[in-house]
Structure 1
């Protein structure tokens, strides 16, 4: 097999550039073991890219990608015969890499990119543009700005304020910095990292695959765990900020208090406050809000809570000075953080644990949830050029359709409110079967472990058996009767039973629909943003709001998929959309850009139609996805490919430029 096209030499848009791989010196028997542990479409794509020979993709070996009800099918759903052929081809490909001593890979010719993506997607060309955004080897990757502030604006007095230095803020700061736009970043905390700096509770980790939770411009390949631990994500974010040169641009312990638009000078006049309470007034041409959605703790107003003499803490406000070994601990809530804390508490040796459950969680099978990456993956990352990056692309590719088909409602479905479709009912049946096996012999627990709402209607957690094991522990008491009141010694449940505890952990979630709570944002005509929303946050492209010129939200209304897609992708695209909007302002010589109300209405109507089709959008479902108006304002109902289309162009017909 021979190279069929000349390579393109360009600088990769990646803060973690791939080093030359190690030489392959293993025997055929050793290589066969590696191939057996590889994700075959990824390995064949890697070999084709590294050799420049598309014939390594094989004929008739395109993964078919059957719908995944619970977890993705291995090798994209390849048949056993396809897998056997692919393994033989992959083994020969590894031998060629060894013989030719190929240790690096260059940016691919466009036709090779299209061919490999066509192979990986099973011919779904509509996914290609969004996937190229994630592919370093694509010459038209398209995430980084292709313009420079100095070229468009010269000596113009123009600057952007970025609020927040979490995942979204780092993405925005990097993209604006790549364009050379003057920025200032304010972060209310004493360190960067957002939710990953604040959430330090025992057991904290991703509940999405690690490789799907990273930036397109910072493709780390040596992640140690399949689902990264919290400290690993925080270390990654710190590393990204250092590599991007952002740390000196961040003002820590600084909060945005107020932002007022001035028609007189076409700028935002902002007030910030530091940790000493000192306020500072300054002006900016644009504001990018990267304030997190799951950032404001929600602690219900429990009667008598102030009387409790023990230790209390919300999961986001974890006290490292508290030792719970041998202690009597109450955990209130059974959402994502409780799901991680409860097994950790049992493993760490709490004396007793009382779990107060309002509603049971659905859990997706994830047997490798606590596992490190496999030996085969580690070998392939070290020996096959760009394998980790192709694997990352594969994870994102599988997330485009995700489980959308299994959580889409059928009109008039008779199984409501326990399911929304025949497919959804099949998923429910399988999940109930798994729960029944895990809780065999404990009908008392099983009766309370099966949710009374459709799968996918609320956030689905990852199940490797530790939750059921924690519930079964002799140290655990499950309470489903609610909380009547606190006492100095503990908590009295809805049945009048007092549970004496030393520590109370509020795993009660956040206030996601209260966007920008605590920040006063006053737009054109003196209208305050929260008054405009009136409890129903809406934004065009999830980013902009009419009457608030050049004010962009990175984690705005309806950002975030729950059955499909990558949050990182959406945050990056929102940031890149803001960069494109600023470019249009500079090209027009305008003061700012403002989205038209009609454009917002069209976009929101489209998003609402999508959400009404989903399990979480059904009228009988209650969750944090919905705001006080009963509208789903937190969740994206479509795919990443759809959001690519939404954010690809700042359409002039949807906007007005202010002079």
Structure 2
């Protein structure tokens, strides 16, 4: 059987191939040529990338070198086509490592190579799949949520032969990508690796896909794996209670009509995202507002904003995308922002994927897998270089180490270059805290350009109250409004809220956690047997990477835990108190060394009321991947 990543055979004529090569990433193309020709000399000469940057599209090479590479490529590809597009011979580990180093212009440490090879699946094998083991037919599982992690859970459970039901409060798959349909919604991670490792696609039309395309991707994957028939749609889990006598979970769910359903399960997997429940601040007088008002995650598409005066309260990741999209249509847009946001310059953030890229992904051997690696590597643990606090660094209000200061200068130059000579606007848009201390946004200039429009005003003064037709700030200024949009984010620190999860002795999880949630590896919790979290406490990625990568790590671990239960004939498993406490203490100690927990970073939705961060992961991707490759039975108590 042909390796699915070796490319589909083609008969494309030379002139069409030459046209396609104008779109592609040239360094990625050259590695594909090595597979096609078997000649590593193609990357051992003068042709090589001059550097590596985030969000790679065509490669940082001179135009002359790109032209030379395309000429060589046309000859190799035509020969490969004329030979009938045979499946390339496998490449040894030493050469693969050399190819990695060449592509990213630096040595890739040995400890990363196994993780990266697993991620790329160059051998065509999905190493994260856990095959069936034991008699799983009498071990039903309930999965809460059908976003990216819940869908993944369903796929892996089905492959392992474990019966399952997914309960999803929305009417369709995708989680955040189903709910958030606001104007301009798109991903801020390159979507050629913001997708399942085992389900790449050549159908992306943007390098950073918009919401409808992302939701459609998850729907295609769901249909391909026939997961939809296992889902209870428009049904919300309200409670899950553990019964020690029967070693089962009783899950209570309510549908849109109010009808209650009770499900019985031997295990529960929470696949609830941390950006799931909208946060809408309480503001005096907001119920008196006469016009439409809604949260960005529940966008009211029946409201026509054309010619309206719109007040947008909040300007984080969602508002950052909404404002440039609606500004050309509204009469007036007033943006109320508590703190300025740092942004990473990405001129190609809205770029479309050319047809040549789609052709290469479809036909050139391993082009898609190397492109995934090329995008993955700059996002893979590089963020810790700017995030690690140097305790001896002066003026930590501005930066927390030398790299942080250089980043501040680069980001500031980008911001200032976009807003012109208006000193008041400059003062409003340059943050006063260390870079990357909050969620750093991707920017192609659209946000800052929107702020310079005559019909857009950025207000940094706090809101005092809302009237029937206006928002009034603390200095008494009245801003007329016909529509209010709350782009105020989510209840990030309230994990699993508002569900009631009752463990042993009826203990309610939210009461145990309070504002300090913890779980071993972010997955399992003492006193809550056979209960597993995806996107649990201490696993949310902010330093880089992709949440889908973390979900795949977690679900392999969870599936293996379930098979330990089933194959061992165990009733229950839960982590030891000692392991869980040690994990949480080490994670908190590590988090205190990073920028996200620094006192100079205020008004962060990552922090609890004590200024602590318990939701983010402070660990390198390679560490978390290593720790979750296989559960150690010694970490658990079995009955």
TM-score normalised by L of structure 2: 0.93
Distance 2:98 2:141 in 1: 40
Q: Are 2:637 and 1:656 aligned?
A: yes
Q: Determine the C-alpha separation between the residues in 2 that align with 1:291 and 1:264.
A: 27
Aligned to 1:148: 132
Change (3 A) 1:451 1:49: same
Shift of 1:115: 5.7
Shift of residue 258, structure 1, vs aligned partner: 1.4
* Partner of residue 468, structure 2: 488
Structure 1 residue 627 displacement after superposition:
2.2
Q: Are 1:20 and 2:8 an aligned pair?
A: yes
| 1:97 and 2:113 aligned | no
2:493 matches 1:507: no
Aligned to 2:567: 587
Q: In structure 1, what is the equivalent of residue 546 of structure 2?
A: 566
The Cα of 1:117 is off from its aligned counterpart by 4.5
By how many angstroms is 1:441 displaced?
Answer: 2.0
Contact kept in structure 2, 1:400 and 1:564, CA below 8 Å: yes
Q: Which runs of 5+ in 1 are unaligned?
A: 1-8
Contact 1:415–1:421 (8 Å) recurs in 2: no
Shift in Å at residue 344 of structure 1? Answer: 0.7
Query: 2:192 matched to which residue of 1?
Result: 211
Distance apart, 1:162 and its partner CA: 0.4
Task: Kindly report which structure 2 residues correspond to 1:176-215, keeping only aligned pairs within 5 A, or say none.
Answer: 176-215=157-196
Deviation at residue 83 of structure 1 after TM alignment: 7.3
Taking the aligned partners of 2:478 and 2:216, their CA distance within structure 1 comes to: 42
Assess if the C-alpha contact under 8 Å between 1:135 and 1:141 holds in 2.
no
- Does the Cα contact within 8 Å between 1:105 and 1:386 map onto a contact in 2? no
Q: Distance in 1 between matches of 2:109 and 2:48?
A: 11
Q: CA deviation at 1:518?
A: 1.6
1:49 aligns with 2:30: no
* Change beyond 3 A, Cα 1:266–1:65: farther
Q: CA RMSD in A?
A: 2.6
Query: C-alpha separation between the residues in 2 aligned to 1:178 and 1:428?
Result: 47
- 1:227 corresponding residue in structure 2: 208
Matched, 1:475 2:455: yes
**Contact 1:268–1:283 at 8 Å: present in 2 too?**
yes
Secondary structure of 1:133's partner? Answer: helix
Distance 2:258 2:491 in 1: 25
Provide the residue aligned with 1:58 in structure 2: 44
Whether the 8 Å CA contact 1:303–1:486 is kept in 2: the answer is: yes
Aligned residues: 636
Per-residue deviation, residues 12-70 of structure 1 (Å, max 9, x unmatched): 5xxxx77624334325xx8677656543332222222344554444368786977x6xx
Q: Distance in 2 between matches of 1:410 and 1:141?
A: 40
2:518 alignment partner in structure 1: 538
**C-alpha distance after superposition, 1:399-451 (max 9, x if no partner):** 21333312222112113112111111111112111222211121121110101
Q: 1:334 aligns with which of 312, 315, 319?
A: 315
2:24–2:57: 8 Å Cα contact kept in structure 1? no
2:415 paired with 1:407: no
CA drift of 1:307 comes to 0.8
1:585-624 equivalence runs, <5 A: 585-622=565-602, 623-624=604-605
> 1:10, 1:107 within 8 Å by CA — same for their partners in 2?
no
User: Once structures 1 and 2 are overlaid, which stretch shifts more, 132-141 or 165-174?
Assistant: 132-141
In structure 2, what is the Cα distance between the partners aligned to 1:456 and 1:107? 41
Contact 1:185 1:250 survives alignment (8 Å): yes
2-structure distance, mates of 1:394, 1:96: 26
| 1: CA distance, partners of 2:539 / 2:636 | 21
